[in-house]
């Protein structure tokens, strides 16, 4: 009987000591496009949130250190650097109010495929969201390849 009690005490002690800690993630979005870029998130309902926009002058960046306390550390997500009160699924990059790119989180929903996962510069793609340190650089090519708004992207 003493051996069983001793075994239970030791087992509970060891189980109590085994914990999985979360992970700290470091995210940076830098603007090397040659122009000013406004990053504007969308709400879950698909509405643009201009009051949450971030303005990055050429050469500027925005960074965030983020701790995810879920067991194993959850999963990295560079979009966490963009201000939003909810999980970000869509974002707009506006270049000097002349051109824009809209990126949507890639995945599958009840209605089929969501977002353009084939778009190599989509900020939601796995290669920009699979490490504890992530840097997304907005390039001159992003500006050149953006959709023309005819001077009024809003």
Span 93-146, pLDDT tens digits: 999 999 999 998 877 666 666 666 778 899 888 888 888 889 999 999 999 999
Nearest to 137 by CA among 25, 66, 33, 26: 33
85 closest CA partner among 44, 54, 127: 44
- Residue 18 has a pLDDT of 46
List the single range of 5-9, 90-94, 132-136, 147-151 with lowest mean pLDDT.
Answer: 5-9
Query: Cβ of 77: how many Cβ atoms within 10 Å?
Result: 20
Average pLDDT, the chain: 82
pLDDT on residue 93: 96
The candidate with the shortest Cα–Cα distance to 134, out of 84, 73, 39, 66, is 66
Identify which has the larger pLDDT, 129 or 16: 129
Q: What is the CA radius of gyration of the chain?
A: 21
Higher pLDDT, 64 or 70: 64
Residue 146: the pLDDT is 96
Continuous H helices in 57-152: 140-145
DSSP 48: B
């Amino acid at each position: 009987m003493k051996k069983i009690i001793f075994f239970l005490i030791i087992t509970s002690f060891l189980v109590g000591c085994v914990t999985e800690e979360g992970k700290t993630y470091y995210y940076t979005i830098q603007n090397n496009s040659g122009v000013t870029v406004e990053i504007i998130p969308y709400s879950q309902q698909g509405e643009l949130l201009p009051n949450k926009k971030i303005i990055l002058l050429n050469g500027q960046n925005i960074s965030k250190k983020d701790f995810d306390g879920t067991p194993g550390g959850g999963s990295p997500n560079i979009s966490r650097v963009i201000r939003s009160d909810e999980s970000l699924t869509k974002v707009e990059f506006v270049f000097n109010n002349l051109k824009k790119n809209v990126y949507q989180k890639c995945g599958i929903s009840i209605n089929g495929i969501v977002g353009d996962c084939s778009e190599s510069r989509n900020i939601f793609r796995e290669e920009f969201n699979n490490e504890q340190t992530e840097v997304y650089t907005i390039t001159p090519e992003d500006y050149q390849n953006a959709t023309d708004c005819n001077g009024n992207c809003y």
